[in-house]
């Protein structure tokens, strides 16, 4: 079984960023108080914002679906936003075997912990991981290389930048 893991913001979806314009829009139409962003359901308001899938990642999602892979959505959005996250993904018919929302830890720590747990529990033959956070990519690469070295499970890491994704190839010489 192949395990595919997708991040939400700026990966699977091009979600609104916390710009002054977007904050003002929420303030005027939803009474938003301009503090915080990623922990607010209003930042995923599908009636106010045009929230669309990233075409490159959508293609990858469809490939994983056609192959019958085990699909997981793993986001740094906090657990209290589950209904807002579900509304976004359900509007486009996305279906995941599991949905993981952040539990209060730093996003990178939460994701590393969940990746390890999923690999241990599911024992996949291969892992595909899609994420946009440039500052987290080195950590994901290390965990992926460890999974490959210790368990022999290929870990394919894709850094999503805008409307493209780039695979960071495993390289034993870098170990």
Does the structure show a pLDDT above 50 at 10? yes
Burial 39-71 (b: 16+ CB within 10 A, else e): ebbbbbbeebbebebbebbeebbeebeeeebbb
pLDDT at 27: 87
Confidence of residue 86 (pLDDT cuts 50, 70, 90): very high
Question: CA 128, 134, 135, 141 torsion: positive or negative?
Answer: positive
Identify which has the larger pLDDT, 69 or 175.
Answer: 69
Domain 2-14+51-174 bears CATH identifier 1.10.150.130: no
Tens digits of per-residue pLDDT, 23-33? 998 888 888 77
Lowest mean pLDDT among 106-120, 121-135, 156-170: 156-170
Does the structure show a pLDDT above 90 at 165? no
CA atoms within 13 A on the CB side of 170: 19
SS3 content of the chain, % helix, strand, coil (to 5): 40, 25, 35
Lowest mean pLDDT among 98-107, 113-122, 163-172: 163-172
Query: Is the whole-model pTM more than 0.85?
Result: yes
Q: Domain-by-domain residue ranges, the chain?
A: 2-14+51-174
Find the mean pLDDT for residues 153-169.
90
Give the phi and the psi of residue 23 in degrees, each rounded to 5: -65, -40
Tens digits of per-residue pLDDT, 35-85? 789 999 999 999 999 999 999 999 999 999 999 999 999 999 999 999 999
pLDDT at 84: 97
Nearby residues of 64 by Cβ (< 8 Å), 6 or more positions away: 2, 4, 71, 128
């Amino acid at each position: 079984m192949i395990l595919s893991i997708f991040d939400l913001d700026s990966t699977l979806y091009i979600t609104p960023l916390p710009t002054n314009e977007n904050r003002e829009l929420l303030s005027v139409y939803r009474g938003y108080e301009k503090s915080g962003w990623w922990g607010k359901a209003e930042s995923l308001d599908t009636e106010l914002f045009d929230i669309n899938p990233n075409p490159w990642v959508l293609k990858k999602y469809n490939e994983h679906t056609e192959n019958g892979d085990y699909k997981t959505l793993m986001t740094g959005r906090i657990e209290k936003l589950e209904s807002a996250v579900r509304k976004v993904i359900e509007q486009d018919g996305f279906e995941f075997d599991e949905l993981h929302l952040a539990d209060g830890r730093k996003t990178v720590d939460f994701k590393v912990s969940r990746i390890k747990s999923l690999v241990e529990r599911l024992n996949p033959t291969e892992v595909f991981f899609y994420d946009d956070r440039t500052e987290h990519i080195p950590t994901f690469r290390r965990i992926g290389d460890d999974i490959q070295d210790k368990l022999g499970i290929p870990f394919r890491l894709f850094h999503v930048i805008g409307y493209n994704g780039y695979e960071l190839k495993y390289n034993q010489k870098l170990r």
